[in-house]
Amino acid sequence: MRPVVEIEGVVRRFGSVTAVDGVSLAIAEGAFFALLGASGSGKTTLLRMLAGFEMPDAGRILLDGADITRTPPNRRPVNLMFQSYALFPHMTVAQNVAYGLEMERRPRAEIRARVAEMLETVQLLPLAGRRPDQLSGGQRQRVALARALVKRPRVLLLDEPLGALDAKLRGQMQLELKRLQHEVGITFIVVTHDQDEALVMADRIAILRAGRLEQVGTPREVYESPATRYAADFIGQMNFLPGHALPGGLRLPDGGLVRVAGEGPVQGEAVAAVRPERIRLGPGENTLTGTVRALAYHGLDLQLQVETPAAAEPVTLRLTAGEAETAPGIGERVTLGWAARDTRIFPA
Amino acid sequence: MRDRGSAFLMAPALAWLAGLMVVPCALVLALAFFRRGLYGGIDWTFTLENLALVFDPLYGGILLNSARIAGLVALIAAVAGYAAAFAIVSRPRHWQPVLLFLAVLPFWSNYLIRTYAWIVLLNREGLIVQAARWLGRDGALPQMLYTEGAVIAGLVYAYLPFVILACYAPLSRLPRDLAEASRDLGGSGFTTFRRITLPLTLPGLAVGAVFVFVLSVGNFVTPALLGGGQFQMVGTLVYAQFLTAGDWPFGAALAMVLMAVMMLLLVAQTWVAERGTGGRRDA
């Protein structure tokens, strides 16, 4: 099946800064696609080019196979949910939601019915007569969503959709957005700097760095098999052990060997990477010994920082609630072990 | 606690306004209810004749004509000023203060000098006539100075910066993404202006237009200098009653009606602005 959105070699420069530097992506129909990156990675510029507010300096953007690179925003069957929500302050909730349909010159009765139906979906029907300044942050976010979705766009673009909400509400809305996307069956492209958000909501993630694609894959792929050191560092927590690469592993500065399964450099400066939750107390295929320097209790797990002679940075591991009962205290000597298949190696 | 604090902070300004403006004004306006004495004096018997005279067809006509001219001035200044403010806001951020400064620059020179400059421009041997003569077309030019057109042009010129300033503030504060949201939802550039930008900046435009109207309707310098001796507006009429005709009671009555009209307008404008801001506190 043809992808709904195709981005081909898109470049966008602002003066001497290249915000987006030759990005090519294909986004499948019905996907929940996340553009993930730190600030300045070009993710918002890319989104604004999809919406039509920025013109690429090079490359093309196709929607259902048709070139929309130069189509103005009001002629694209694509809607954007702004990070600020950009609700019209002089209009009620219902008027805000109706605006896009009025622009399409739909009959009055149809507009009324679709607005009511949409407000019902986002559970805002009782607030239809309120002004935006009479709503909470979460309610505004849902109005913004309803206003964009009511037009039944081919693709809905969301710019940091949960950025303005507090942590607890954000967690709820992540699942809510996912449920809604499933319900309406519209392709969502969401920009976020929050890797947790991307992992929870998206079914595909593109990691951007300095205007270039670092990795594209499912949440599981980018978490379990990061393609680059940057991706490994950006998504989740990661321990990095610098050393010298050799076939099958990495030689640590203290002479120890870290065994690595899978591809990677076989010579030169390199880093071995292992997730904190993959490390257990006690020896394994890879073993380090060290001293516990800090403990941090997070409710679900207990994080241990262990200082080892093998690396300048302390190694972090996470013990689950059960293991935490018998956790060592600060200053105790511990042995850490993990499997070779849980270890990746990247050029330094 | 807070109320007492703010009352304390407001006291000097309040005392200043009450003692040095409200009281003297009230004293002069009170004259409207007394008879005119011989030789410019006051005959202290109560009467409503002066107020009735204001609405006499002769003087009422001047009042209406002043309102018409001030209305025209306000309309022209509103359109031109809003357009200018809109243009300034669409320039890059670092240029905006410079452009705004240039727009307000005439304010820093004396009002009389600026009005005299218009005489230099418009008179029979003025710059425009000379330029036309140089082009060989001076026969086509009508009388320019001492016309209603000259008064309107002079007033628009004098008060245009008010509208630019009053419109610049709300236009520059208007979040750019509101217009973008309208475009995104399918609105054309014009529809976006009509349904989003204009309604949200209308209070500023109203402030500017009402100010221009109020300042124009009572103005006496510009009608006197650019309108010539034959041209009467309420301002020149009040001026004449106090300084040449010596009829202080009638002058006070005219001023009182003028002030009442201005107050009404300002109250109406404030009320509209208050209602308009209801929905734009922190969106």
Task: Concatenate the DSSP letters of all residues of B178-201 into one string.
Answer: HHHHHHHTT--HHHHIIIIIHHHH
Residue B170 has pLDDT above 80, yes or no: yes
| Window from A40-54, A205-219, A305-319 with minimum mean pLDDT | A305-319
Query: Which residue, A224, A249, A264, sits at the end of a domain?
Result: A224
Q: Does any domain span residue A232? A: no
Of B175, B185, B196, the CB nearest to A147: B185
In a shared domain, residues A201 and A312: no
Six-digit token pair at B46? 């109560």
Average pLDDT of chain A, as a whole number: 92
A81 lies in the same domain as A205: yes
A273 and A319 in a common domain: yes
pLDDT of residue B182: 97
| Ranges A284-298, B38-52, B71-85, B245-259: which has the least confidence | B38-52
Q: Which of B177, B196, B278 sits opposite A82 (nearest CB)?
A: B177
Interface test with B, best of A74, A85, A114 (most B CBs within 10 A): A74
* CATH number among 1.10.3720.10, 3.90.650.10, 3.50.50.60, 3.30.70.2660, domain B46-275: 1.10.3720.10
Question: Does residue A114 belong to any structural domain of this protein?
Answer: yes
Structural domain contains residue A230: no
Does A343 contact chain B (CB < 8 Å)?
no
A282 and A204 in a common domain: no
Q: How many domains does chain A have?
A: 2
* Residues A134 and A275 grouped into a single domain: no
Write b or e for each residue in A194-233: b if 16 or more Cβ atoms lie within 10 A of its Cβ, otherwise e. bbebbbbbbebbbbbbbbebbbbbebeebbeebbebbbbe
CB A140 within 8 A of CB A106: no
The lowest-confidence range among A45-54, A204-213, B116-125, B202-211 is B116-125
Q: Tokens for B112?
A: 């009389």
Residues A207 and A311 in one domain: no
Identify the residue with better confidence: B185 or B121: B185
DSSP string, B222-247: HHHHHH-TT---HHHHHHHIIIII--
What are the tens digits of pLDDT across the range A274-313?
999 999 999 999 999 999 999 888 888 889 999 998 888 9
Lowest mean pLDDT of A31-45, A49-63, B2-16, B243-257, name the range.
B2-16
In this structure, the answer to whether residues A212 and A296 fall within a common structural domain is: no
The whole domain housing A218 covers: 5-224
**What pLDDT is stored for residue B280 in this prediction?**
44
Two structure tokens written together for A272: 């071995």
- Regarding whether A135 and A44 lie in a shared domain, the answer is yes
In a mutagenesis test of the B interface, which of A88, A114, A130, A152 is the best target, namely the one with the most B β-carbons within 10 Å? A88
The verdict on A138 and A265 lying in the same domain is no
Q: What is the pTM of this model?
A: 0.84
Q: What is the pLDDT of residue A302?
A: 87
**A258 and A220 within one domain:** no
Give the count of Cβ contacts less than 8 A between chain A and B. 75
* Same domain, residue pair A202 and A93: yes
Residue A11 sits in a domain whose CATH number is 3.40.50.300
pLDDT band at B279 (very low <50, low <70, confident <90, very high): very low
pLDDT tens digits for range B97-107: 999 999 888 88
Band of pLDDT at residue B111, cut at 50, 70 and 90: confident
pLDDT score recorded for residue B108? 83
Residues A49 and A160 in one domain: yes
Q: Is A234 inside any structural domain?
A: no
